[in-house]
Amino acid sequence: MGRTAPTSVLIVGSGVFGLSTAWALSKRKEFAKTEITVVDDVRGGSFPPADVASVDSSRIIRPDYSDRHYCALASVAQEEWRKQGDDDLGGQGRYSESGLLLMADTPTQVKKGKLSGMDYVKNSWQNVDSIARESGYPPGKIRTLGNKEAIQKFLDAPGCNADWGYINELSGWADAGRGMEWLYKQVKATGRVKFVDAKVEELVTDGKRVVGTRLSSGSILRGELVFVAAGAWTGQLIDVRGRIEATGQAVAYIDITEKELDVLKKQPVALNLSTGLFIIPPQDKVLKVARHAYGYLNPVTVTNALPPSPSHPKQSIVASLPLTSRNGYPNYLPVDADSDLRRGLKELSPISGLETRPWKETRLCWYADTRDGDWLIDYHPGWDGLFVATGGSGHGYKFLPVLGDKIADCILGHGGELGDKWRWKNIPEDGSGKEHNGVYQGLQTDDGSRSCTFGMILQDELAKTKAKL
């Protein structure tokens, strides 16, 4: 069923979901008379805040998905990433088509009905190979590496232990921080969007309708449609327990020499989905290594989250929320992440000894995870006037060129097959994302792309690390 464009939209959050939607709405004729406001807590700095998931030195740009919908959509997004004019998204070094080596280990244990990292990689290879052939690319652009020795030879990395993989020369990576700066400039240039630098404390309701947001100053911003794109902070504003959960993913950087840069910048992105470890080729003398895993949980008491419906009382809940440099994250990683990222440097790089270097910088990148890795883009079923666009699950940024338009379609009720995929789904009452007898039970993302220990509590892991310092 189609919907009429609202007279005003209040967008909470200026990450890739929020900014890309503001951009799309400002260009769509259906929203020509709609007032668009974006509110986020940048504390006098630039939009978006530096600790959102979509801002970093680099993000992988790939259509390499086990899921055919994301594979097809990312292929469309890549057409924009490849445009290299100074004013284009991919220009001025914002996108580099380095290639991607996606690989996995042979699983030691297979859970019935669950995808392993190897399943994900082989499904992804079939999807991208099919799309490449349909698009007329030469077969050699995507080729398999059928054993450990072939992978080690290709990477010139004898420590790599993956058993099977493939190289996709049509994938690459983007400078995510500069890409978001570009997006913000595009939105500002429309003259259609008002930006408000403020912290949103809670959503404001009138009867069964969400009518705005209350800011930390006490003032209220209103919108006919309140659009929450708060990413990993969503759980602070809305009770989404068991549906969306903030997980912290380990990232670290080391200094490298000019000679090492000459070698590493010619490498592809290397990602082992069985370990979650990956390295992205550098543009300057800083190398990033990271881990895409189940991540860390940070359960805290939340007092202002909107309940599931007007019939539910507003009450304190426990939810996992980000801990970043702005609100107390220390300048070190949990010990397991430190050792794992060093293993990534050893296994995925052709240069020996990188794993012994001190970190230049470390951080946690906070995902808004869902159970199946699908995004949540839909009207809230319990409240009128509330639309939610979140659940990026660590793979939203690469869709920057097309994401906002797809969300705009969903707002108008024309989301089609993708809208059905991203709808507000029924979930089992299995205790995920809730506290039981003082023990927090995490939400597990089962899309085949996750690894490492599930359910680690960040503060517990940091305490172990601090004890060793």
pLDDT in tens, 139-172: 899 999 999 999 999 999 999 999 999 999 999 9
- For the chain, what is the mean pLDDT? 96
Is the per-residue pLDDT at 130 higher than 80?
yes
Q: Domains in the chain: how many in total?
A: 1
To which H or E segment does residue 296 belong?
strand 296-297
Residue 2 lies in a domain: no
The pLDDT confidence band at residue 310, using thresholds 50, 70 and 90, is very high
Neighbours of 229 (CB within 10 A): 28
Query: Tell me, what DSSP letter sits at residue 268?
Result: P
Residue 332 lies in a domain: yes
Residue 3 lies in a domain: no
Is the per-residue pLDDT at 44 higher than 80?
yes
Nearest CA to 254 among 330, 177, 353, 178?
A: 353
Which segments of 198-245 does DSSP mark as H helices, in order?
A: 234-237
CATH of the domain at 462: 3.50.50.60
**What is the rounded CA–CA span in Å between residue 77 and residue 406?**
12
Cα 312–314–320 angle (5° rounding)?
A: 110
**What is the rounded CA–CA span in Å between residue 365 and residue 324?**
8
Residues near 262 by Cβ (< 8 Å), separated by ≥ 6?
Answer: none
Residue 19 lies in a domain: yes
Residues near 112 by Cβ (< 8 Å), separated by ≥ 6?
Answer: none
Residue 282 lies in a domain: yes
Structure tokens at 202: 């809670």
Tell me the residue range of the domain where 264 lies.
8-467
**What is the rounded CA–CA span in Å between residue 28 and residue 43?**
30
The whole-number average pLDDT for the span 230-249 is 98
> How does pLDDT run across 241-294, given as a tens digit for each residue?
999 999 999 999 999 999 999 999 999 999 999 999 999 999 999 999 999 999
> How does pLDDT run across 49-89, given as a tens digit for each residue?
999 999 999 999 999 999 999 999 999 999 999 999 999 99
Amino acid identity of residue 278, one-letter, is F
Residue 133 lies in a domain: yes
The pLDDT confidence band at residue 103, using thresholds 50, 70 and 90, is very high
Cα 48–52–56 angle (5° rounding)?
A: 90
Residue 43 lies in a domain: yes
Cα 113–115–120 angle (5° rounding)?
A: 155
Sequence-ordered strand ranges (E) for 79-199: 95-96, 100-104, 142-145, 164-168, 172-174, 193-197
Residue 426 lies in a domain: yes
For residue 321, what are the CA distances in angstroms to 105, 155, 244, 300? 32, 37, 11, 7
Is the per-residue pLDDT at 118 higher than 80?
yes
